[in-house]
Amino acid sequence: MANISDVAKRAGVSAMTVSRVLNSSGYVKTETRKRVVRAMEDLNYIPSGLARSLIQQRTYTLALVVPDITNPFFTTVARGMEDVARKNGYRVVLTNTDEDTNKETEYVHMCATIRADGVLIAPTGDASVVNLQLLSQQSIPFVLIDREVGGLEADLVKGDMVGAARQLIEHLIELGHHRIAAITGPRNNAASRDRLQGYQWALTQHHLPLADELIKEAVMTRQVDGRFVAELLALPDPPTAIFTANNFQCARALASLRQLGQRVPEDISIVSFDNSDPLCIMEPFITAAIQPAYDFGSLGTQLLLERIEGIHTAPQRIVLEASIVHRKSTQRR
């Protein structure tokens, strides 16, 4: 088996130069680097794929940083990313932040350590700006998906969540619901704020009051606590309908309503943002805004590859429309 000395001898350089090429440390002339890589290939010292990476100063690795891969939305995002990445000769490393900025920081440092060529990221919230700035400092291109970060100009693929939330609330209003509760995500999350804005806009446009007691904040992960349902139903004038920000919140709300003896939609209607694969549901039930999750991943990755290639200088912004699907979870008051 060939060693560094063999490679150095064949390339006509010192072992130190070979080491610099392997570790991408120190200055090595381009022609010398190519000569070392050719020697590695000739001697089967390293796989040809890595040799290509050394020549082009790339690892052909992309990172996907999402809050929770068990959420069907992000599962589908990952598939869209992987399809485009693989087609272009890249592999994908997947990480879960669990909506934890500290975990996000760890994974951003990991991206720098493994020399990822680019990062597709759904930031945990406004505090993510520090992590995104770190990527910039490390010259690692990134594209935001699903969520913006205030004050940061960056490539972005997101949904029209304001418009989709507005349509869901207007559907309830058309059915005669005037007391509509909203379950939002954390307010430091731009996607949560967009959903809340759409809810408030619809009520205002239809001259319905905005009642603080009808707005509850909850996490958007599998760990969501459904106590908000009991709190809402205990109000002197409880809501006749509930709007939830994602499928985890919706599932928890349905379970809590069932435990409290409330029937959907006979006693209370419910709508949600939902991204479950309809092929996996025997009887689709929830009236929902369905976002094109696969396109978030595929288009985001395409933007990322274009950023890596230096095709664009100004940030690119893509806003995708959601489909409103009317099912069985709502009825007229």
Asked if the model's pLDDT at residue 163 lies above 90, the reply is yes
Within a domain: 279: yes
Mean pLDDT for the stretch of residues 222-227: 91
Q: Which of 28, 51, 24, 25 is nearest to 38 (CA)?
A: 51
Q: Do 170 and 275 fall within a single domain?
A: yes
Within a domain: 329: no
Asked if the model's pLDDT at residue 328 lies above 50, the reply is yes
CB within 8 A of 143, min separation 6: which ones? 118, 119, 120, 121, 154, 155, 156, 157, 300, 301, 303, 304, 307
Q: What CATH number is given to the structural domain containing 236?
A: 3.40.50.2300
Any bridge partners for residue 288, and if so which?
272, 325
Distance of CA 277 to the CA centre of its chain: 17
Residue 34: the pLDDT is 87
pLDDT bin (cut points 50, 70, 90) of residue 11 is very high
Within a domain: 333: no
CB 95 within 8 A of CB 64: yes
What digits encode the pLDDT tens for the residues 100-132? 999 999 999 999 888 899 999 999 999 999 999
What digits encode the pLDDT tens for the residues 254-286? 999 999 999 999 999 999 997 665 544 545 689
Q: Where is pLDDT greater, at 48 or 209?
A: 209
Record the tokens describing residue 322, joined without a space.
């959601």
Q: Where is pLDDT greater, at 33 or 297?
A: 297
Mean pLDDT for the stretch of residues 228-240: 97
Alpha helix positions (H), 4-71: 4-11, 15-23, 30-42, 48-56
Residue 297: the pLDDT is 98
Rounded to an integer, what distance in angstroms lies between the CA atom of residue 60 and that of residue 315?
Answer: 22
Asked if the model's pLDDT at residue 47 lies above 60, the reply is no
What digits encode the pLDDT tens for the residues 185-203? 999 999 999 999 999 999 9
pLDDT bin (cut points 50, 70, 90) of residue 44 is confident
Q: Do 90 and 233 fall within a single domain?
A: no
Within a domain: 310: yes
pLDDT bin (cut points 50, 70, 90) of residue 293 is very high
Q: Do 283 and 177 fall within a single domain?
A: yes
Mean pLDDT for the stretch of residues 8-33: 83
Q: Do 116 and 21 fall within a single domain?
A: no
Mean pLDDT for the stretch of residues 7-27: 82
Within a domain: 306: yes
Residue 282: the pLDDT is 44
pLDDT mean across residues, the chain: 91
Asked if the model's pLDDT at residue 18 lies above 90, the reply is no
Rounded to an integer, what distance in angstroms lies between the CA atom of residue 182 and that of residue 168?
Answer: 11
| C-alpha distance from residue 4 to each of 14, 34, 67, 259, 313 (Å) | 9, 15, 42, 68, 40
Within a domain: 327: no
Q: Do 72 and 107 fall within a single domain?
A: yes
Q: Do 170 and 286 fall within a single domain?
A: yes
Q: Do 165 and 200 fall within a single domain?
A: yes
Q: Do 267 and 198 fall within a single domain?
A: yes
Q: Where is pLDDT greater, at 221 or 239?
A: 239
pLDDT bin (cut points 50, 70, 90) of residue 54 is low
Residue 216: the pLDDT is 97
Within a domain: 11: yes
Q: Do 69 and 131 fall within a single domain?
A: yes
Asked if the model's pLDDT at residue 166 lies above 70, the reply is yes
Rounded to an integer, what distance in angstroms lies between the CA atom of residue 232 and that of residue 186?
Answer: 18
Q: Nearest-5° angle of CA 165, CA 168, CA 172? A: 140
Residue 2: the pLDDT is 77
Q: Do 175 and 232 fall within a single domain?
A: yes
Record the tokens describing residue 104, joined without a space.
């996000």
Q: Do 81 and 182 fall within a single domain?
A: no
Q: Which of 291, 249, 308, 274 is nearest to 157 (CA)?
A: 291
Residue 276: the pLDDT is 63
Q: Give the global pTM.
A: 0.82
Within a domain: 330: no
Range of 131's domain?
61-158+293-322
User: How many structural domains comprise the chain?
Assistant: 3
